[in-house]
Structure 1
């Protein structure tokens, strides 16, 4: 283990699903015909993934995964990032690795031999921009603790963990070990809840980690906050947990976002968007903007503003990762 108080080499290191997003526009009736969970995320097996893929209209394929998308946004903003995630030794795995490295992110986790294939997310986007996701985790759910580079984890100022990956047993154990390594090195641990169904399955784990002080930065959306706290009223839910987490960030879609840190509370409105094209990656990019500001020591409200700007950029086009010149956009919006 390196010197636990050494200057971090990376701003953010993330552990998450290594998947390729397959995105297609569709009409509402296809959602009903395929019996999909409109606007949500559903885990599917490989057979169901193949069935849905065959039913999709013409699609585009881009590397995705919640934490990987967030890192892509952070890297675009000029910060140093590394990713830990499991791909298979197949074509999609090679595509994912190439895309991460091409974005400036270090990604050196060895590919897994044999089945299952690299994960993919089949995303159906309706005319209102809502995305319905169907995720085959594939090789990603077999990330073992032995694949962790503990020196790498200890070299990051912030360890960012994806709730989606908490579901499978192997990566859950790997992330628990990563938290230990990061905290021993005096680093910050950030966690995104990802989806209400994840909290329904593992809420006791998350609440235990919060109570034990293992999470420094927690990202939730409005529905996830309600599931986590058991309180339908946003203010009640937020108040019930904000003193348990050093930094709590809650996004509220069109109602903007709220955050608290060390007794300070800030909120921002959602950034205006001419037309919502695809909401895929909105939460991921909000986290990217926020963490980019946080890593630089910026004020809480400015971090939220960065998050809102990043989210507004990604929902104005297809795909979960930024396409604009993000530093220029931030400068123009922030002044």
Structure 2
């Protein structure tokens, strides 16, 4: 089958612990609205507090895994996608495996004996989400697992790769292995800026793999942070997208295309020294449930059309469609079938 295993994702599988909270809750744990951070000791009691709320939901998540699941849903082609990451040997890990497999994704998890499956606190206030990730087992991924024949086989089979920038905190050597394979075999390697803290504190790891990226995804806050970290005197998102697309490349087969989302504002696409803006689908405020997974869903939708070799315009449309569906539901979830044409 031509599409079997065509898209491979690699990242931090996390079980989302999602609940609606208030401003006081955010202040108590020193959390900013619409941000994504790694948990510190002061955040740890928060997970139990969220779990005790009557509106709490558990959803298999993690940025890359969300995108891969959405791509799989959009494609409706069994086994088109695969995913690699690390979970614990526990009930949350089992839950995750069940959830992803039933979504049609071929998962090859590395199971860590000592650490529990990673969780992500999703604090929803007025539809906006703030994420605090406690990586636990997700932090234990090793490239030895990737090199095993049954897992490297997934890398060899795939023609497109997607890795969220969050994985730079865990296994940059695994990313490098996949990136170099993609460049050597003329395949398409894509990544995401993922969060301001990745651009700031993992700048060197990000710069090392940037030459291999054929598509760079991100949102406006991440793009502006990236520019600041690199001393670019601009916070103009279009200009930044263009500069990222012109960063030197390791392989000359594919040009680099930068895709930056801006919430309700148009999507910025930079390629060939030009910038194009694509409007998003308008959603009245009262229909917004929560923005958790919106960016991940956009990437999943985009990739679903990219691997079908559709033009960029169709990829962006699919991304906008998928994120529009996701923000009208709780967490990164979707109806049984997409209604995208």
TM over 0.5: yes
1:170-249 correspondence runs (5 A): 171-210=171-210, 213-230=211-228, 231-244=234-247, 246-249=256-259
Distance 1:183-1:150 versus aligned 2 partners, 3 A rule = farther
Provide the C-alpha distance between the structure 1 equivalents of 2:154 and 2:219, rounded to a whole number of angstroms: 30
Choose 254-263 or 80-89, whichever is displaced more.
254-263
- The answer for the alignment partner of 2:130 in structure 1 is 132
Kept in 2, the 8 Å contact 1:153–1:178? The answer is: yes
- Give the alignment partner of residue 253 of structure 1, picking from 252, 263, 267: 263
1:92-131 correspondence runs (5 A): 92-114=92-114, 116-126=115-125, 128-131=126-129
Provide the C-alpha distance between the structure 1 equivalents of 2:209 and 2:88, rounded to a whole number of angstroms: 31
Provide the C-alpha distance between the structure 2 equivalents of 1:198 and 1:110, rounded to a whole number of angstroms: 24
Q: Deviation string for 1:5-27 (max 9, x for gaps)?
A: xx774221000111100100112
Provide the C-alpha distance between the structure 2 equivalents of 1:296 and 1:263, rounded to a whole number of angstroms: 25
Provide the C-alpha distance between the structure 1 equivalents of 2:244 and 2:179, rounded to a whole number of angstroms: 20
Provide the C-alpha distance between the structure 2 equivalents of 1:267 and 1:235, rounded to a whole number of angstroms: 9
- The answer for the alignment partner of 1:301 in structure 2 is 313
- The answer for the alignment partner of 2:231 in structure 1 is none
- The answer for the alignment partner of 2:64 in structure 1 is 67
Deviation at residue 263 of structure 1 after TM alignment: 5.1
Name the SS of the counterpart of 1:13 in structure 2: strand
Distance 1:242-1:50 versus aligned 2 partners, 3 A rule = closer
- The answer for the alignment partner of 2:280 in structure 1 is 270
- Give the alignment partner of residue 28 of structure 1, picking from 18, 23, 26: 23
Name the SS of the counterpart of 1:86 in structure 2: strand
Segments of 5+ residues of structure 1 without an aligned counterpart are 1-6
- Give the alignment partner of residue 48 of structure 2, picking from 54, 76, 79: 54
Provide the C-alpha distance between the structure 2 equivalents of 1:286 and 1:8, rounded to a whole number of angstroms: 21
Provide the C-alpha distance between the structure 2 equivalents of 1:296 and 1:83, rounded to a whole number of angstroms: 19
Name the SS of the counterpart of 2:202 in structure 1: helix
- The answer for the alignment partner of 1:166 in structure 2 is 168
- The answer for the alignment partner of 1:143 in structure 2 is 141
Name the SS of the counterpart of 2:264 in structure 1: helix
- The answer for the alignment partner of 1:4 in structure 2 is none
Provide the C-alpha distance between the structure 1 equivalents of 2:110 and 2:24, rounded to a whole number of angstroms: 41
Deviation at residue 203 of structure 1 after TM alignment: 2.1
TM-score normalised by the chain length of structure 2:
0.87
Name the SS of the counterpart of 2:132 in structure 1: strand
Name the SS of the counterpart of 2:96 in structure 1: helix
Provide the C-alpha distance between the structure 2 equivalents of 1:318 and 1:22, rounded to a whole number of angstroms: 11
Segments of 5+ residues of structure 2 without an aligned counterpart are 229-233, 248-254
- The answer for the alignment partner of 1:3 in structure 2 is none
- Give the alignment partner of residue 282 of structure 1, picking from 294, 298, 312: 294
Name the SS of the counterpart of 1:278 in structure 2: coil
Paired residue total:
317
Q: Deviation string for 1:13-57 (max 9, x for gaps)?
A: 000111100100112222123322222112115x55540023222
Kept in 1, the 8 Å contact 2:242–2:271? The answer is: no
Kept in 1, the 8 Å contact 2:191–2:215? The answer is: yes
Distance 1:92-1:48 versus aligned 2 partners, 3 A rule = farther
Distance 1:111-1:154 versus aligned 2 partners, 3 A rule = same
RMSD over aligned Cα atoms: 1.9
Provide the C-alpha distance between the structure 1 equivalents of 2:258 and 2:87, rounded to a whole number of angstroms: 31
Name the SS of the counterpart of 2:27 in structure 1: helix
Distance 1:50-1:277 versus aligned 2 partners, 3 A rule = same
